[in-house]
Amino acid sequence: MPSHNGRHFLQIPGPSPVPERLLRAMSMQVIDHRSAEFGALGKQVLEGCQAIFKTSGPVVIYPSSGTGAWEAAIANTLSPGDKVLMVETGHFATLWRNMAARLGIEVDFIGGDWRHGADPAALEARLAEDNAHAIKAVMVVHNETSTGVTSRIPEIRKAIDAAAHPALLMVDTISSLGSVDYRHDEWQVDVTVSCSQKGLMLPPGLGFNALSQKAIAASKTNSLRRSYWDWEEMLKPNANGFFPYTPATNLLYGLREAIAMLLEEGLDEVFDRHRRLAAATRAAVGAWGLEVLCQDPREYSPVLTAVVMPPGHDADAFRKVVLEKYNMSLGAGLSKLAGKVFRIGHLGECNDLTLIGALSGVEMGLAAAGVPHRRGGVQAAMDELEGRSLANSETAAVA
Domain residue spans of the chain = 20-263, 266-398
What stretches of 130-181 show up as alpha helix (H) in DSSP?
Answer: 153-162
Distances (CA, A) of 355 to 2, 114, 153, 159, 320: 24, 25, 28, 37, 20
Q: What angle do CA 84, 86, 88 make, to 5 degrees?
A: 155
Distances (CA, A) of 258 to 69, 76, 199: 19, 28, 9
Distance in angstroms (rounded) separating the CA atoms of residues 14 and 341? 16
Annotated binding site for substrate: 343
Do 85 and 110 form a contact (C-beta atoms < 8 A)?
yes
Distance in angstroms (rounded) separating the CA atoms of residues 233 and 332? 38
Distance in angstroms (rounded) separating the CA atoms of residues 137 and 170? 7
Verdict on whether the full-model pTM lies above 0.85: yes
Quick one: which of 370, 60, 387, 54 has its CA closest to 228? 60
Q: Tens place of pLDDT for every residue, the chain, 399 residues?
A: 567 888 899 999 999 999 999 999 999 999 999 999 999 999 999 999 999 999 999 999 999 999 999 999 999 999 999 999 999 999 999 999 999 999 999 999 999 999 999 999 999 999 999 999 999 999 999 999 999 999 999 999 999 999 999 999 999 999 999 999 999 999 999 999 999 999 999 999 999 999 999 999 999 999 999 999 999 999 999 999 999 999 999 999 999 999 999 999 999 999 999 999 999 999 999 999 999 999 999 999 999 999 999 999 999 999 999 999 999 999 999 999 999 999 999 999 999 999 999 999 999 999 999 999 999 999 999 999 998 655 555 554 444
Q: Residues 6 or more apart from 235 whose CB is under 8 A from it?
A: 58, 60, 216
Q: Dihedral sign, CA of 265, 267, 270, 276?
A: negative
Do 347 and 13 form a contact (C-beta atoms < 8 A)?
yes
Quick one: which of 92, 196, 96 has its CA closest to 148? 92
pLDDT tens digits, one per residue of 169-200:
999 999 999 999 999 999 999 999 999 999 99
> Looking at residue 4, what is its pLDDT?
80
Buried b / exposed e along 340-370 (16+ C-beta atoms within 10 A): bbbbbbbbbebebebbbbbbbbbbbbbeebe
Distance in angstroms (rounded) separating the CA atoms of residues 173 and 181? 10
Annotated binding site: 343
The architecture that CATH gives domain 20-263 is 3-Layer(aba) Sandwich (3.40)
Q: Residues 6 or more apart from 352 whose CB is under 8 A from it?
A: 276, 277, 280, 385, 389
pLDDT tens digits, one per residue of 72-120:
999 999 999 999 999 999 999 999 999 999 999 999 999 999 999 999 9
Do 276 and 361 form a contact (C-beta atoms < 8 A)?
no
> Looking at residue 391, what is its pLDDT?
59
| Secondary structure class of 140 (helix, strand, coil) | strand
Determine the topology of domain 266-398 in CATH.
Aspartate Aminotransferase, domain 1 (3.90.1150)
Q: What angle do CA 227, 228, 229 make, to 5 degrees?
A: 90
Distance in angstroms (rounded) separating the CA atoms of residues 116 and 103? 27
Distance in angstroms (rounded) separating the CA atoms of residues 24 and 235? 29
Quick one: which of 195, 250, 262 has its CA closest to 41? 250
